[in-house]
Chain A
Amino acid sequence: MIAIIRKELADHFNSIRFLVLFLLVLVAVGGGIYAAKQGIREALEASRAVTEDGFVFLSLFTSSWGDIPIFTMVIAIVIPITGIVLGFDAINSERTGGTLSRLLSQPVYRDSVINGKFLAGIITITIMAGTAILLVGGFGLIWFDLRPYGFNMTGIGVPFPTPEEIIRLFLYFVITVVYGAFWMGLSMLFSVVFRRAAGSLLIPMVIFIIFYFFWVFLGFGGAIANAVSPITGSSDIATQIQQAGMQQTILRLSPSYLFREAYAVLLLPVAKGLGVITVAQARFMVANPISLTQSLLAIWPHLIGMVSLSAICFAISYIIFMKQEIRAT
């Protein structure tokens, strides 16, 4: 399997595909830094609700300025696309290229082929997400001038992150990788099922568009949840809470929504991370700080959920692939 991982990684890093994806990540970084430069005051004010000084370092990642999107929002789009692009032709390109027969007539288990490709993809996603976070953080540390925002500092650069900030950021990094892995697992599943790469690229992309743009971004998910389980003002509090819970469950059918909730809790621990939170909204929320432990408890199911979804995709690809005939024609 090591041999397969090695080859896949070499392939990824030498491909134009990787270059393009990396450019996308850099766009996210650039956008994030620019937004932070312009909007860190708001982000700081929002997070100051939590601690005396606020999560200064985390604010770098959660700032937005006008139409310039928050770093995390761009990442929420770039990472799934990266996952899909890394996985959509994993198996079917080998099949159409006639290399699958040769590969599987070597002494390797069939699952090592899928595992190797999956792991190589995860490593690639890890590198991308890690680079993005480090770049934004690094720029913040050496380049930001916080003095105009009322900070009493001797030099330039945000203060070094507190341990809590580091943990929160690291967890954000982990769930981002898991989220990317889910999309890669999904597109790999389609690469096992479909003989043609066009199909295995298109279908996960459409699923992503539905789950992200329609469900989360355009708010269709909320509308549907509202239609299915309307919160009626006339009913008692208990019923209303139940109805709200139902809405939440419906919204969480989308992995993109799960991801968004999870990173909101981690990076914007202002209010319980329900619903769509933007910095602008967060400002008006009642201060309701939640501690690191509470945040962890809140996102634990999300993490489990995303890992299970990836595992399900993986298991299905695995079962189908094991049964498939490897014919070189």
Chain B
Amino acid sequence: MTDKLAIETKDLTKNYGKVTVVDRLNFHVKENEVFGLLGPNGAGKTTTILMLLGLTEPASGMVRVFDFNSTREPLKVKRIVGYLPEEVGFYDNLTARENLRFIADLNNIAPSETERRIDEVLEMVGLTEERDMVTRKFSRGMKQRLGIADVFIKQPKLVILDEPTSGLDPSGINHLLDIIAGLPKMGITVLLSSHQLYQVQRVCQSVGILSKGKMVIEGSIDELGREAMAGGRFMIEVETAEPKAGLVDIIKKIEGVEKIEADGTILKISTDSDLRSQISKAVVDNDALLVQMKVHEFSLDDIYMKYFKEN
């Protein structure tokens, strides 16, 4: 993995009327990584992607794709970026092959090379049998797969997939995720937009979580994991009726307790595992009256769910 950036945004902002849909977004995607753009519906993922491709103009801020300014040099960006829109459509009077041929034609690919690539990408998504069928007869899932094939026709350096797993059955999802996971090795960077955390977690090296147009958290999955670990994988909150002086010291001695903070009647204890029974025993042994005890698990899920709930 290099440190060259495939995508870089600076205070990227988009308004629709008075509503700010994307709000001073700053994030970057490194070359040859799979970046997951996560967020509930309406978070602004698609809008961000449209700005990356120069398909809509930002209100302010800047976005660069492989050092090209997407707003000012959209063509240079489009030459190297393959984009799968949220609702992909095809010319339904044409066959799968003819649809791909048109896209190849738009990308100035030589005819002989075109045919070779078409066979290759159709094979990749498992549509070889259906290549001469008019796309009118395609199911939603088949269209989605043809959309994936379409993205690879121009041999992009970056692919942007907007909710690519919608409309696919579980085996289709797995197949797609396998394809995506293999792309960095082929020198292709991926921006994967999704509201499905588990799919993203499976294939992404980095994620950014978007909520109401703001980037809530961004970084590599390793970093984010460590960050969560540093604060303790578990956060246990203990509330006692009257805190006793020695209690803090006793709890500190329990194996696995990393940190303890006293805040009035509440003790915030960071641990590396679920130590609720040991802690409650210590509290009772110390004759402190236990009011309540809560366990709080830190993970990407939590962060994500928190913003999910708000929406």
Q: Please list the residues of chain A having a beta carbon within 8 angstroms of any beta carbon in chain B.
A: 3-4, 6-7, 11, 14-15, 97-99, 101-109, 325-329
Contacts and interface: CB of A to CB of B under 8 A. Distances in A.
Contacts of A329: 46, 86-87
B86 to A, nearest CB: 5
Contact of A105 (B56, B85, B89, B102): B85
B75 interface: yes
A328 B93 contact: no
Nearest to A108: B106
Contact of B93 (A11, A103, A106): A11
A26 to B, nearest CB: 24
B5 to A, nearest CB: 21
B31 interface: no
A103 B107 CA distance: 11
A180 B210 CA distance: 50
Contacts of A99: 89-91
Contacts of B76: 107
Interface in B39-77: 46, 50, 53, 55-56, 75-76
A329 B166 CA distance: 13
A98 B87 contact: yes
B102 A98 contact: no
B50 A107 contact: no
Given A102-B85, A102-B150, A325 B50 contact: yes
A133 B75 CA distance: 43
Interface string B162-176: 100000000000000
A3 B56 contact: no
A83 to B, nearest CB: 22
A107 B92 contact: no
A112 B270 CA distance: 61
A102 B89 contact: yes
Given A106-B106, A107-B107, A328 B78 contact: no
Given A3-B106, A102-B89, 14 more contacts: A6-B105, A11-B91, A14-B93, A15-B93, A97-B92, A101-B85, A105-B53, A108-B106, A326-B50, A327-B56, A328-B85, A328-B86, A328-B89, A328-B162
Given A99-B89, A105-B78, A105-B83, A327 B106 contact: no
- Leading 3 A-B pairs by shortest Cβ distance: A98-B89, A328-B85, A3-B105
A97 B102 CA distance: 16
A4 B235 CA distance: 60
Interface string B77-107: 0110111011111111100000000110111
Nearest to A106: B106
Contacts of A15: 93
Interface residues of B, number: 30
A3 B102 contact: yes
Contacts, number: 79
A113 to B, nearest CB: 10
A36 B299 CA distance: 86
Nearest to B16: A325
A326 B55 contact: yes
Given A99-B90, A325-B50, A106 B107 contact: yes
Contacts of A7: 102, 105
Interface string B104-120: 01110000000000000
Nearest to A325: B56
Nearest to B78: A107
B75 to A, nearest CB: 5
A106 B78 CA distance: 6
26 contacts: A3-B102, A3-B105, A4-B106, A11-B93, A97-B91, A97-B92, A98-B87, A98-B88, A98-B90, A99-B89, A101-B83, A101-B89, A102-B147, A105-B85, A106-B78, A106-B106, A106-B154, A107-B75, A107-B76, A107-B106, A325-B50, A326-B50, A327-B56, A328-B85, A328-B88, A328-B89
A7 B93 CA distance: 12
A109 B76 CA distance: 11
A151 B268 CA distance: 114
Candidate in B53, B87, B88, B102 with the most chain A CB atoms within 10 angstroms: B102
Contacts of A103: 106
Contacts of B79: 107
A323 to B, nearest CB: 8
Nearest to A4: B106
A6 B108 CA distance: 13
Contacts of B55: 101, 104-105, 325-327
User: Which of B55, B83, B87, B105 has the most CB atoms of chain A within a 10 A radius of its CB?
Assistant: B55
Contact of A98 (B46, B56, B85, B103): B85
Interface string B249-289: 00000000000000000000000000000000000000000
Contacts of A328: 85-89, 162
Given A325-B56, A327-B46, A328-B86, A105 B91 contact: no
